[in-house]
A and B are shown apart, each in its own frame.
Chain A
Amino acid sequence: MAEESDQDLIVSVRDLEVQFPTTLGVVQALNGVSFDIPRGKVVGIVGESGSGKSVTARSIMQILERPGRITKGEIKFHREKAQQAGASQLMEEAGAELSKLTDESGAVDITKLDPRSSAMRAIRGAEIAMIFQEPMTSLNPVYTVGNQIQEAILLHQTPDKKVAWDQAVDMLRQVGMPNPERIAKSYPHELSGGMRQRAMIAMALSCHPALLIADEPTTALDVTTEAQILSLMRRLQSDIGMSIMFITHSMGVVAQLCDEVIVMYLGQVVEYGTVDEIFYNPKHPYTQALLRAIPRIGADEHQPLEVIKGSIPDPYVRVPACPFHPRCPEFMAGTCDTVYPVETTFAGPTKHSVRCHLYPQQEEPVDPERSKVEV
């Protein structure tokens, strides 16, 4: 494995745990999640419902829904640039606080910030932005689209309303809206699903974030609209050079858009690799099974699809040891159900790693520091 300092990372998450204490019991939504997001890359997070993809994203934004809370771990966000001081009142307040919390490498531990603090509010939106699956729930129905984008710009960038409005219209133009001046004056209900998602993207990008978190942004859209949004995201990514964390359950979207892939299952990262490794050389039985379960064009039509037996367990039940062992075709009794698998990193130029007992840790740990943290 390459030394971590070799690579320019934007976010490194270590051993993150998130719990939702409810009346029926504690739901362990994340159970020791660690991964890195390299700068300027599109990293896909795939997994089925309940795997913790959205909770991971919301933790980075510090917008976990109640009663969820981060109970352990750290989220290091490597800030790109200090925002212009004096751009707005918020930025002024946050500036001092943020510089105090920034360590020598220029990273801020997001878990240490209060979700309501001005420091977190300065990061949220301006440096890390997020778009959601259902644009209608994230747009305010009583304000025009232009107003809502303008608000974000006023909060983070400039106190001048006219400048902010022009910038909002320009953002709408950049995301390929026909007639952006008119759209800026429209209310969300006047736009179609694809247009609303474009408006959301315009809003998210209006402050030039270093990291964009996209939580299933195309799941609610039709294929032709999905194709439009994906090609838009690809274009914006190469133009602006921002990092994207793309959450999806569609293997097709991952294959088409992402550089690296994180596969999650029941609140844990089970495999990490480049998109090519994940599709052409998947290691974890879950990744392999997921890929085989999707119907693909040109396959033998009358062959039944391969299935993963059972279904995702109830969130209140904690599966001991490897979370996948009750459904795993490679299940080894006595090992998979008793010992929690450590992360094994494969030799090579990439950081392909997997958590599975089929791949025991090498004799000499490549990176003792890392494995100590993981175990």
Chain B
Amino acid sequence: MTESDVQQPSSGTAPAGEPLLEVRGLKKHFPIKGGMLRRTIGEVKSVDGVDLTVNRGETLAVVGESGCGKSTTGRSIMRLEQPTAGEVIFHDRELGPVNVESADRKTMEKIRPKMQIIFQDPFASLDSRMTVGRVIAEPLVINKVLKGQALRDRVAELLQLVGLRPEHASRYPHAFSGGQRQRIGIARAIALDPDLIIADEPVSALDVSVQAQVINLLEELQDRLNLTYMFISHDLSVVEHISDRVAVMYVGKVVEVGNTRDLYRRPRHPYTEALLSALPQPDPRNRIEIVPLKGEVPSPANPPSGCYFHTRCPYAQEICSVEAPPLREIPNADGTGKHEAACHFAEELELKGALVPSAEVAGGKDGMG
């Protein structure tokens, strides 16, 4: 890799809009061991048949509540967890489509640098005994990309790219704040000039003022380096800001996928509606009496019959407890792109989108005082 690759990332890349990553029927089941012989007595179906496509240059957000399998999906795509079933196809610029889930060691070595991950907790994801310079240089050293002065130059360049100073390379992670640590994690992730970055709740652990800085950095890097993001998050406000498309997960399955704007305005799955209505809006004049979802998220070890959401769904009918609805395309009159939902009544239901807070609230023009 040379410097010019970084500065002119758009040259020689495939046009945006083509699929970069295709996930077909991805499953990750964890065995539950029990009894005297530690036999498998059940399975936690963390990810239970996920289909996703991430197009080159876009940001696909994966949202859902804890335990819905969004992080496991990310880790299975990276093959940090070996998927139980399904296909993960990565469209490499040189190798063409590669099946990541079954690739041999040699192919993985070529593919891995192209897919990177950023973790949620910036305090756990950096080795406290390594200087920041070594943390960032590690992927370059392991993949034998650079060494000596060229390596040091690249590390300095990466530090500047994420808004830190080159002299920070000699310090240890403990000397940095949460936001700065997340920048270091981002520098490490972009060191090998990847195509895809899976960002697993990258801003959830940060304070509001720092969160905005990191979000802006991620967006800026996406433009400069032509990155594709899979952005895993539970924060629907951040997701609306950063993503082009959103996939909503519930108990190991994708229940709805659509354009961000479209999905927020007109959700097609009752679970998406519930998520959007539960979002506390930062507008005191717009207090909504939330009708909270009843009950709890079912256990992925023992999911309900039929549609997994029927136990909590306010619109559930008889068929919902019997037949599991597949994820299917919903005809879209607005022409805002493909919209898919896994609901028997996706066409009939008139679901409410997210409320939009009034424009003058909160530090808007009128609020300046």
Partner-B contacts on A (CB < 8 A): 48-49, 192-195, 222-228, 230-231, 249-256, 258, 275-276, 279-283, 287-299, 301, 304-308, 311-312
Contact = CB atoms under 8 A, between A and B. Distances in A.
A291 B367 contact: yes
B241 A305 contact: yes
A226 B207 contact: no
B363 A297 contact: no
B108 interface: no
Contacts of B367: 279-282, 288, 291
A225 B280 CA distance: 12
Contact of A280 (B180, B207, B210, B360): B360
B333 interface: no
Nearest to A259: B284
B215 interface: yes
Given A227-B292, A230-B280, A279-B283, A295 B65 contact: no
Contacts of B361: 279-280, 291
A249 B287 CA distance: 18
B296 A192 contact: yes
Contact of B284 (A276, A289, A292): A276
Contacts of A290: 208-209, 363
Contact of B279 (A231, A251, A252): A252
A253 B207 contact: no
A182 to B, nearest CB: 15
Contacts of A288: 363, 367-369
B240 interface: yes
Nearest to A252: B280
B278 A307 contact: no
Given A291-B363, A293-B209, A295-B215, 6 more contacts: A48-B208, A48-B209, A223-B279, A280-B361, A282-B367, A293-B212
Given A195-B296, A283-B369, A295-B240, A226 B209 contact: no
Interface in B319-366: 354-357, 360-363, 366
B357 A223 contact: no
Interface centre among A255, A258, A283 (most CB of B within 10 A): A255
Contact of A289 (B209, B290, B356): B209
20 contacts: A48-B210, A227-B277, A249-B208, A256-B281, A256-B287, A258-B284, A279-B284, A279-B362, A281-B366, A289-B209, A291-B367, A294-B237, A295-B240, A295-B242, A297-B264, A297-B357, A305-B216, A311-B177, A311-B209, A312-B177
B40 to A, nearest CB: 23
Contacts of B288: 256
B311 interface: no
B134 to A, nearest CB: 23
B212 A231 contact: no
B231 to A, nearest CB: 12
A227 B369 CA distance: 32
B99 interface: no
Contacts of A194: 296
Contact of A255 (B236, B280, B290, B360): B280
B162 interface: no
B120 interface: no
Nearest to B274: A224
Contacts of B369: 281-283, 288
Contacts of A298: 354, 356-357
A301 B245 CA distance: 12
B292 A251 contact: no
Contact of B237 (A49, A222, A281, A296): A296
B210 A311 contact: yes
B66 A279 contact: no
A228 B208 contact: no
Interface residues on B, range: 35 or more
B207 A249 contact: yes
B266 to A, nearest CB: 14
Contact of B292 (A228, A275, A276): A228
Contacts of A308: 209, 212-213
Contacts of A276: 284-285
A93 to B, nearest CB: 42
A288 B361 CA distance: 10
A192 B66 CA distance: 11
Nearest to B67: A222
B84 interface: no
B59 to A, nearest CB: 10
Nearest to A253: B280
Contact of B236 (A195, A223, A228, A311): A223
Contact of A301 (B234, B240, B277, B293): B240
Contacts of B66: 193, 222
Given A276-B284, A296-B357, A301-B241, A230 B290 contact: yes
B82 interface: no
A294 B234 contact: no
B260 interface: yes
Nearest to A222: B65
Contacts of B65: 222-225
Contacts of B282: 251-252, 254-255, 279, 291, 294, 296
B219 interface: yes
B287 A223 contact: no
B209 A231 contact: no
B301 interface: no
Contacts of B102: none
B258 interface: no
Given A275-B284, A307-B216, A282 B241 contact: no
A118 B284 CA distance: 41
Nearest to A191: B296
B278 A295 contact: no
Contacts of A255: 280-284, 286-287
A293 B237 contact: no
Nearest to B240: A297
Interface string B247-268: 0000000000000110010000
Contact of A224 (B215, B220, B293): B293
Interface centre among A193, A255, A291, A297 (most CB of B within 10 A): A297
A294 B283 CA distance: 12
Contacts of A228: 292-293
